[in-house]
Amino acid sequence: MVLTLYKCDMSPPVRSVLMVIEHLKLPVQFVDVNIIKAEQLTKEFKKINPQHTVPTLIDDDFILGDSHAISMYLINKYAKDDSLYPSEPKLRAIVDQRLHFDS
Catalytic residues: 11
How far apart are alpha carbons 16 and 43 in whole angstroms?
Answer: 26
CB atoms within 10 A of CB 59: 19
The helix-helix angle for 89-99 and 67-78 (nearest 10°) equals 140
